[in-house]
Structure 1
Amino acid sequence: MWALRRASISLRTRGFNARASCVKFAQTSCVEQESCISETHGMACDPFSSPKSRYHSGHNASLNLTMGRRELSSSSTKEEDDLEDGFSELETPAVDGNESDSLVTSDADSADDDGDKEDVEEAHNEIDEQAKKEEKPHRGRIESELFKEILNASGMSIHIALDKWLEEGKELTREEVSLAMVNLRRRKMFGRALQLSEWLESKKQFEFIERDYASRLDLIAKARGLQKAEAYIETVPESCKSEIIYRTLLANCVSQNNVKKAEEVFHKMKDLGFPVTVFACNQLLLLYKRNYKSKIADVLLLMENENIKPSCLTYEILIDSKGQSKDIDGMDQIVDRMKAQGIEPSISTQAVLVRHYILAGLQDKAETLLKEMEGENLKQNRWLCQILLPLYATLGKVDEVGRIWNVCETKPRYNECLAAIEAWGKLNKIDEAEEVFEMMVKKWKLSSKICSILLKVYANHKMLMKGKDIIKRMGDSGCPIGPLTWDALVKLYVQAGEVEKADSVLHKAAYQSQLKPVFSTYLTILEQYAKRGDIHNAEKIFFRMKQADYPLKPKMYQILMSAYINAKLPAYGIRDRFKADNIIPNRILANMLAQVDGFRKNPVSDLLD
């Protein structure tokens, strides 16, 4: 562990300014693929699954805490380096912010309900991960009648449809409910899944156990926000307030990128006497990889002191962090360390490596690793196609993309088609991308998910008129438009140079819908106003982001201050705003602060004084 922690510490210019002396953790001890939960073993947390399966942690279940009285907080570091704002392929969270309680069939740009297609998104906590496992034997073969009934329910409430189900004398088993829950979760229809859970408890159909309460908590956090989820914990019977409850809350805090709340939950888990597990540490690593890279070494030191062995995910996070910091040698060292511990890099880890090799200009190294990933028989490993297609496209390998697509084309799967549209778009093969799109529409009908992928292709190629045609087609077909579509449409207008139109579209969408736009959608417009030095509109977008209750990030202030720098105007009171929002300036922010400080001294001002 010491070698691993030492490998995580780099020069400040690489974004890992870590000081062991700054480590502060609390005594008292302690769910897009942000799928950190897949490492828990023996977990039976799918809602309403067999009550015989009990939860247990496969890691450090009897770990004794020996640390003294310390404290973990986001204010423990004084300087941060540049942050990567986007999520890597290790993490694919749901739309930033809380999903509304809207019960339209296609919640927040969910996928269609065809049972033959692959999972639309990777699970991002234990509840979702187990749901994926439970569903696989049924996919494309056995469909849930209860799920169909819920989909066909009209209006905002599904309770009437569920009451009718009972009145008709239909059997309501845990297996039927579990399958319905799995399908609702897979399609991100968290509002309806939550109503199903509430209805079951109100009708006392089953005796709720800790996994059921954890499932409810997870749905509340996704559909109604962390505050409501915390309040729900108070209603859970004391006998069921087990570690899984707080692990689920912690994972949702990380999923919503709420650093302060995640750290509070981590403290709470320790205060309640729960052991520090590799799962909780990985959650913090994911969080700090996005927000405070210099604190990664702090978590590794905690793991070392608590004798917690790194999991596969631990290594994946560290590899991705090194890659984001352009430290390819450090990234390779962690891979070597991982293999030395007897852990072979997974396909997702290898995909991360390929992406960073490509960004570093190491084309040959990336292509060699891609061939290793593919193996000898791609037809037997069809699931790899959706991963390989966009990676080969990023390398510019038209022939390889065509070869892999030929494996899929005769009987294409949903995710393979999405990957193919993206890949052909990267290769400037618009006709081929449109051909795959039309094939998907015939096979699975028009959906927001499919349209948003093609819209991104059009945006990258500044094809505004074609993008408008897709939006009109969606409207004519009654296809729901949500955050993913808004994001693609905003970027389409931005790429076409129509920033004000993009601003107007986003403002109308956010005003007319209960759904919350993706964080990066606002950031796209903010960046454009900042480049222009348009302080008025930059501040307006910044204010809207705060109103929308996104977790404040240094990146937001970094872009805002660049607007003042480009306008060559001082930002009076900016330091007070940092303090009020609990933002600790990193190195880049500190340099920018010096440029926008209206009261700074310089040689000329000294002479005039």
Structure 2
Amino acid sequence: MASRVLFTTLNNTKNKTLTADWLVTLASTRAYCSTPNPENRNNLHSRINAVRDPNFSVAPVLQQWVKEGKDIKQFQLQRIIRDLRSRRRYTHALEVSKWMSSSGLEFSSSDSAVQLDLIGRVDGLSAAENFFSSLKDQDKTVKTYGALLNCYVREGLIDESLAIMKKMKEMGFLSSPLTYNDLMCLYTNTGRLEKVPDVLFEMKVNGVSPDKFSYKICINSYGARGDYNNMENVLREMGSQWHIQMDWGTYSVVANYYVKAGLKEKAIHYLKECEKNVSKDALGYDHLISSYAHLGNTYEMKRLWDLQKSKCKKQTNQNYIVMLGSLVKLGEFEEAEKLLDEWESSCKTYDFRVPNVLLIGYCQKGLVEKAEAKLQDIIKRRKIAIPNCWSIIATGYMNKNNMDKAFECFKEALAMEAENQGWRPKESLISSILSWLGENGEVEDAEAFVKLLRIKVPANREMYHALLKAYIRNGKEVEGLLESMKGDEIDEDEETIKVLSLRDRNS
């Protein structure tokens, strides 16, 4: 349960930098990111896991299991629920929890707390409150109160959270740091960072020892407000606690605030402290490499990359993406090309996200022709690229006002529907090409493009306006097009009237 509020903080915070820093913190703590090994799952677990669509119920799977005469143990269902929650499959997790509570199996206050949290996620706060009210007094424990508090924190409700905290204090339920951490996350999520240190102080006054997350949230609150002295004071206090083992993520958070503030010496000092604690954690090296890229230090980036390769068993695609992105950021394209060659020679599956980093870098520097040549070379040596590759090139040409090439490249992307069903083109690129087609394109080109586009994007006013402009410029009747527009339930607006007025000018 300790991870629940911290992930809420990550998902809900309005501070983008804060989210990135907390990813560093959480990623370094394996206990809060692990999922069960598929090889250890029993058959029931596998059957439930196979039901991916949240619109399909998993209850029949459980009923069939019982019908086959097989036993279901409490710990089996608890493990399944835990796995489903870790995968954010909350609807199915709630189904299993409800089945468990109605099946006659033992259902503890911990199980009730989990169900309450799931009800809040799936059915909303009101349903969670009703469930809590329906619990027997003996089931209203520190865990169920904590679950209700977490629902309020997730919704950003300060008054309700404080009221629950007060009730928990009266009942003697504020003996662990978890509840205080919830409140600190709430203040973080709602932008009241100045309140976070007060909660840490209250914890200590009440005789509750802060844990590592308590300190990290407070360190973050000071860093986000630029109060670096107090940030370091809390860091030193954290390091003096016998029960807390310092990790690289904490030092990385502190270092990142100094990097953003342009305090290079301080940043390097804490990056060195971070490195001392990385050991064989590839993610830690990724963060170090990215931080030194922000400082413009190519030497340290390369040193840490070599160290990562020697310390860690293997480099994943994500590791290569980080290093490639760092090299591209500093304009080290020759080194980036060599690194891409190294990755290509060792990769088992060609993941186009890796070369895309280089393609984006070239396009951002205005070297879109080089990016296209690189993509064409990859296609010759490998396979058909994913749509996003061509979309990157199209965007590069758009930014150079070469709309003919942007149009051709984007058509390549749209024609590759089968390669990436989940791909969604950028609205800005679509708008630019539609506008260009309306002003300059041939009717056949505009029609073919809109036909391709409608496979990915529902028909909209912008598509019809582009077609109307192309029709009118080329002297083609638009009545049929206007009928189709009505058929798609798109009413004429002022812009439509302006487009149609072009007929009078051309007549």
Tell me how far apart the structure 2 counterparts of residues 400 and 295 of structure 1 sit (CA, whole Å).
41
Find the counterpart in structure 2 of residue 166 from structure 1.
66
Distance 1:32 1:411, change over 3 A: same
SS of equivalent to 2:40: coil
1:221 matched residue in structure 2: 120
Q: Structure 2 residue aligned with 1:347, among 222, 226, 248? A: 248
Is residue 193 from structure 1 mapped to residue 119 from structure 2 by the alignment?
A: no
- Corresponding residue to 2:77 among 160, 163, 177: 177
Say whether the 8 Å CA contact 2:125–2:151 is kept in structure 1.
Answer: yes
Q: In the TM superposition, what is the alpha-carbon distance from 1:242 to its structure 2 partner?
A: 0.5
Mapping 1:493-508, distance limit 5 Å: none
Q: Taking structure 1 as reference, are residues 189 and 419 closer, same or farther at Cα in structure 2, changes over 3 Å only?
A: farther
Supply the distance in 1 between the matched residues of 2:133 and 2:254 (Cα, whole angstroms).
Answer: 43
Task: Indicate the larger mover: 250-259 or 225-234.
Answer: 250-259
Task: Give the letter aligned to residue 199 of structure 2.
Answer: V
- How far 1:308 moved relative to its partner? 3.2
1:233 to 132, 137, 143: 132
Structure 2 alignment gaps of length 5 or more: 9-13, 369-387, 395-409, 436-453, 459-507
Contact in 2 for aligned 1:392/1:401 (Cα 8 Å): no
The answer for the alignment partner of 2:266 in structure 1 is 365
**2:150–2:182 Cα contact (<8 Å) kept:** yes
Distance verdict in 2 for CA 1:152–1:176, change over 3 Å:
same
Q: TM-score, normalised by structure 1?
A: 0.50
Structure 1 residue 192 displacement after superposition: 1.7
User: Structure 2 CA distance, aligned partners of 1:87 and 1:304?
Assistant: 25
SS in 2 for 1:308: coil
d(CA) in 2 for partners of 1:350 and 1:369? Answer: 6
TM-fit CA distance, 1:218 = 2.0
Picking from 387, 392, 415, the partner of 1:466 is 392
Instruction: State whether structure 2 residue 18 is matched by structure 1 residue 87.
Output: yes
What are structure 1's unaligned runs of at least 5 residues? 1-30, 38-82, 94-120, 499-507, 513-609
Shift of 1:186: 2.4
Shift of the 241–140 alpha-carbon distance from structure 1 to 2, 3 Å rule, reads same
| 1:385 to partner: Cα distance | 3.4
The Cα shift of 1:141 comes to: 4.3
Question: What residue is the counterpart of 1:139 in the other structure?
Answer: 37
Answer whether contact 2:181 2:213 (CA < 8 A) is retained: yes
SS in 2 for 1:87: helix
Distance 1:436 1:224 in 2: 49
Structure 2 SS opposite 1:207: coil
- Which of residues 285, 297, 314 in structure 2 aligns to 1:411? 314
RMSD: 5.0
- Aligned equivalent of 2:144: 245
Please give the alpha-carbon distance, in whole angstroms, between the structure 1 residues aligned to 2:32 and 2:108: 17
CA distance in 1, matches of 2:185, 2:432: 31
* Letter of the structure 2 residue corresponding to residue 394 of structure 1: H
Q: 1 CA distance for matches of 2:219 and 2:310? A: 31
Mapped partners of 1:88, 1:299: distance in 2? 21
State the match for 1:319 in structure 2: 219
Give the structure 1 partner of residue 472 of structure 2. none
Within-5 A mapping of 1:301-312: 301-312=201-212
Instruction: Calculate the TM-score normalised by the size of structure 2.
Output: 0.59
Aligned residue pairs total 380
The code of the aligned residue for 2:119 comes to: I
In structure 2, the residue matched to 1:528 is none
The answer on whether the counterparts of 2:249 and 2:284 sit within 8 Å (CA) in structure 1 is no
Q: Is the 8 A contact 1:458 1:492 kept in 2?
A: no
Partners of 1:33 and 1:457 lie apart in 2 by: 35
CA contact (8 A) 2:85 2:93 kept: yes
1:557-581 per-position Cα deviation (integer Å, ceiling 9, x unaligned)? xxxxxxxxxxxxxxxxxxxxxxxxx
Contact 1:144 1:180 survives alignment (8 Å): no
Alignment of 1:46-445 (within 5 A): 84=15, 86-89=17-20, 91=22, 135=35, 138-139=36-37, 141-153=39-51, 156-204=56-104, 206-270=105-169, 272-275=171-174, 277-290=176-189, 291-342=191-242, 343=244, 345-375=246-276, 378=279, 380-382=280-282, 384-396=284-296, 397=298, 398-400=301-303, 402-403=305-306, 406-407=309-310, 411-413=314-316, 416=319, 423=326, 426-427=329-330
CA deviation after TM superposition for structure 1 residue 300, in Å:
4.3
1:25 corresponds in structure 2 to: none
What does the per-residue CA deviation read over 1:221-246, in whole Å, with 9 as the maximum and x for residues that have no partner? 23333332222212333322101112
- Which protein is bigger by CA-based radius of gyration? 2
Percent identity of paired positions between Structure 1 and Structure 2 = 22
- For 1:454 and 1:216, the matched residues in 2 are separated by 42
The whole-number CA distance in structure 2 between the counterparts of 1:436 and 1:261 is 55
In structure 2, how many angstroms separate the alpha carbons of the residues matched to 1:123 and 1:32? 13
Q: CA deviation at 1:212?
A: 1.0
Do the aligned partners of residues 266 and 381 (structure 1) sit closer, same or farther apart at CA in structure 2, a change above 3 Å counting? Answer: same
Aligned mates of 1:203, 1:32 — CA distance in 2:
28
